[in-house]
Amino acid sequence: MSKRLACLATVLAFAAVSAFAANPRGAATASVGGKKVAVDYGRPALNGRSLDALLKDLPADRIWRAGENQVTTISLEGDSMIGGKKVPAGKYSVYVHAGEGKAWDLVLNRDLGVPLGKIYAKASDAMKNEPWPHYTAYTAEIGSQEVARIPMTPAKAAAPADMFTISFAPSAAGQTMTLAWADKAWSTEVTPAK
């Protein structure tokens, strides 16, 4: 079983490295209570596939890396409330728990990824130290380092999108952070910590 997982991780890492130049990285920034919030993420594209079909390929814990290639991160200059949960200032990896049906949770973790060279021996010198997310066994490998698991509100996307997008929009108390892909979107509020 562990050989299968190692093989799967190697194949996924190779696929990610092969696709590295295919899609640009995305960035979303906002000001919350005068402090910067920044998300850096990979932008996978559906390329004719359906989101539902991709979700069927998630591991048993239903954790997705919220992007592609290097690990997705959120940096908070100040303590923040995300979806009503207090998150200390700092930098965190971002994952999504894609629950069955419409329920998705934003997952923030202290672990900032594993160097690509540790999971893919043929990584180029330029990429071998880049942090890559945990593809399989999230719960077993880094689940204990979770900072917050935040329920998101599902909605229909404003417009169908082939590429995954993370964005911020001003709200009454701070910013609404939205993750959108295909015809679906999930959002949560980001406000200054109380």
Cβ atoms 153, 179 nearer than 8 A: no
Calculate ∠ Cα 62-67-69, nearest 5°.
110
| Global confidence as pTM | 0.86
Q: Of 5-9, 139-143, 151-155, 169-173, which range is least confident?
A: 5-9
pLDDT digits (tens, 9 = 90+) for 41-75: 999 999 999 998 888 888 889 999 999 999 999 99
Adjacent-strand bridge partners of 40: 27, 73
